[in-house]
Amino acid sequence: MATILVTGGAGYIGSHTVVELVKAGYEPIIFDNFSNSKPAVLARLHKITGKNIPFYSGDIRVREQLEKVFDENKIDAVIHFAGLKAVGESVKKPLEYYDNNVNGSRTLLMVMRDKGCKNFIFSSSATVYGEPDSVPLTENSPVKRANCPYGQTKIDVEYMAEELQKACPDFSVTLLRYFNPVGAHESGLIGEDPRGIPNNLMPYLTQVAVGRLPYLNIFGNDYPTPDGTCIRDYIHVVDLALGHVAALNKLMNVPGVHIYNLGTGIGYSVLDMVNAFSKAIGHELPHKFAPRRAGDVVQCYADPKKAFEDLGWKALKTLEDMTADSYNWQKNNPQGYED
Ligand code: NAD
Ligand code: WQD
């Protein structure tokens, strides 16, 4: 079976994808520098899969560290998760974000080209669509200049990979635009473990639920939506992981640039999420209304039809699965991965 290099494989989405790759018969190799993850995830992956997943400690910006992996293994494809992802931090540290995300991806693509590995799957984001003119978003919706350095790095890497594909037409470049990943593996052994106070809604909800934080601030309740709060397309991380397996199954060695939205197609408001979460924990989750957060788009959800038609993939898990699995992970690991 094919060997897949998973950069950022110790992270939230990467670790869940490694599990689904093993289940599908692929042989993943993890490459990570633990800048936003912990070594403890490797033992958890062993527990879930029963396999010792090969691991390389390294940084995608360091060519020699990447070359070592390609020299020691025949890599059939790369799924590229490694990157920094905090919108607010990217505004404060734009150069660090361009260095890690853009230079890192460029180094990875150079090594792939030079070592003859032609299958590249990239973690892009719905953020490339900016403030949508209309929803749902299809892959043909316009990509706009991003409103933060993080988003711009996603656009830049998309373009860079597309340009490489033009220059090297036998490359298979797949750009997967994720909507809002939430949830955790049903075992409760792996999940999202942000450093410091979470920026994203779901980890904030789970940390309030276990008493690490006192209450949720809902950013804005005067948006032009039915309940006044913003609408997003939350997708269970296991469904998202399976989207990568579907992409590998269909697109490995299929030259071209392949772009897919990975979302459910359903938009939920922040209040919908709070209510669903309250149901999962059996009491109302403490929350307050707060001013709007700068940069938030009003609504953002996918038209996921193309992924279903081409890849046979669609998200199957419900909002209840997402809240229950997120809560289960946080309950079992109130302080996240402890090292
Ligand atoms: P994460 O931070 O949990 O995982 C990223 C992993 O990459 C971490 O383990 C980190 O240690 C590693 N990493 C970072 N820089 C590295 C480097 N230079 N060299 C080697 N390893 C490095 O994030 P995630 O939520 O799993 O996201 C994975 C990818 O998906 C990211 O590229 C992110 O931008 C993208 N994405 C995430 C979301 C989301 O909401 N979680 C949405 C859309 C796109
Ligand atoms: C969701 C909703 C908030 C926290 C971000 C990135 C995006 C992508 C996914 C990587 C919004 C509200 C949140 C809180 C709140 N990442 N909220 N209180 O902003 O849709 O997307 O993560 O590519 O690029 O921008 O996700 O989870 O931060 O917010 O009310 O404490 O929850 O205002 O409406 P977002 P999020």
Provide the phi-psi class of 196: left if phi over 0, else alpha when psi is between -120 and 50, else beta: left
* Closest ligand by atom to 243 CA: 1
| Candidate of 296, 301, 323 to mutate for ligand 2, largest count of ligand atoms within 8 Å of Cβ | 296
| Candidate of 100, 123, 176 to mutate for ligand 1, largest count of ligand atoms within 8 Å of Cβ | 123
Sheet holding 55-57, edge to edge: 55-57, 27-32, 3-7, 77-80, 119-125, 172-178, 256-262
* Closest ligand by atom to 200 CA: 2
Supply the angle between the helices 270-281 and 201-209 in degrees, to the nearest 10: 30
Q: Cβ distance 146 to 225 under 8 Å?
A: no
* 112 Cβ contact list (under 8 Å, min separation 6): 70, 75, 78, 118, 120
Structure tokens at 102: 């853009």
Rounded CA separation 176/307 (Å): 10
Q: Which atom, in ligand 1's list, is nearest to the CA of 124?
A: 44
Q: SS3 of 110, please? A: helix
Rounded CA separation 33/193 (Å): 16
Q: Cβ distance 275 to 67 under 8 Å?
A: no
Nearest CA to ligand 2 atom 28: 200
With a 6 Å cutoff on the Cβ, whether 243 touches ligand 1 is no
Catalytically annotated residues: 150
Q: SS3 of 149, please? A: helix
Predicted TM-score (pTM) of this structure? 0.99
Q: Which atom, in ligand 1's list, is nearest to the CA of 127?
A: 43
Strand-pair category, 268-269 with 231-232: antiparallel
Closest to 60 measured CA to CA, from 13, 19, 20, 5: 5
Instruction: Please give the DSSP secondary-structure letter assigned to residue 98.
Output: I
Structure tokens at 161: 């990979």
Number of other residues whose CB lies within 10 A of the CB of residue 31 = 27
| Cα–ligand 1 centroid distance for 183 (angstroms) | 16
Q: List all residues whose CB is within 6 A of at least one atom of ligand 2.
A: 85, 87, 125, 127, 180, 199-201, 204, 216-219, 230, 232, 270, 293, 296
Rounded CA separation 29/314 (Å): 26
Rounded CA separation 270/182 (Å): 13
Tens-level pLDDT at each residue, the chain (339 residues): 899 999 999 999 999 999 999 999 999 999 999 999 999 999 999 999 999 999 999 999 999 999 999 999 999 999 999 999 999 999 999 999 999 999 999 999 999 999 999 999 999 999 999 999 999 999 999 998 898 999 999 999 999 999 999 999 999 999 999 999 999 999 999 999 999 999 999 999 999 999 999 999 999 999 999 999 999 999 999 999 999 999 999 999 999 999 999 999 999 999 999 999 999 999 999 999 999 999 999 999 999 999 999 999 999 999 999 999 999 999 999 999 987
* Closest ligand by atom to 153 CA: 1
